[in-house]
Amino acid sequence: MGLLRIGGYPIQERQTMTPEVRAQALRRLKIISGQVQALERQVEDDRYCMDVLDLSLSIQRALRSLDTLVLEGHLRTHVVEQMTGGESDRAVSELLRLYKVQGPADSQATTS
C-alpha cells in the first residue's frame, strides 16, 4: 500500500477488496442487475402487485447478502490489519460510521 499526497500531506491509500471477494461481489451484482431489470419490466407491464413485491424483496435480500460478503471481507482483512497495526481508532471509527448510516440491526419487524 503506497502513500498519496493531498495538499502536500501524505495519506494512506484505501485498501481494496481481496480478488476473491471482488469476484464474488461482481457475480452477485450481475445477478442483482438482472433482477432489477426484471423488476422494471414487471412494473412497466403492470404485473400483479404481489409479484412485484416478491421480486423486490428478493433483490433486497440479495443486496443484504452482498453487504454481508463485503463486510466479512473487510473485517477479515482490513480491520484485522488496522487492529494489529496500531490503527484501532480508525477501524472503530469506520465501523461506527457505517453503523450510524445503517442504524441498528434490522428494525423492520415482520408480522404474520
What's the CATH fold of domain 18-101?
Methane Monooxygenase Hydroxylase; Chain G, domain 1 (1.20.58)
**pLDDT at residue 105, rounded to an integer:** 60
Angle, helices 49-74/19-44, rounded to nearest 10 degrees: 170
Angle made by CA atoms 109, 58, 100, in degrees to the nearest 5: 50
Query: Is 13 within 8 Å of 2 (Cβ atoms)?
Result: yes
pTM as predicted: 0.73
Averaged pLDDT score across all residues of the chain: 85
Q: Domain map of the chain by residue range?
A: 18-101
Query: Is 70 within 8 Å of 25 (Cβ atoms)?
Result: yes
Query: Is 79 within 8 Å of 95 (Cβ atoms)?
Result: yes
Q: How many CA atoms lie within 13 A of 82 on its CB side?
A: 18
Tell me which residues of the chain have a pLDDT lower than 50. Answer: 1-2, 4-6, 9-11, 109-112
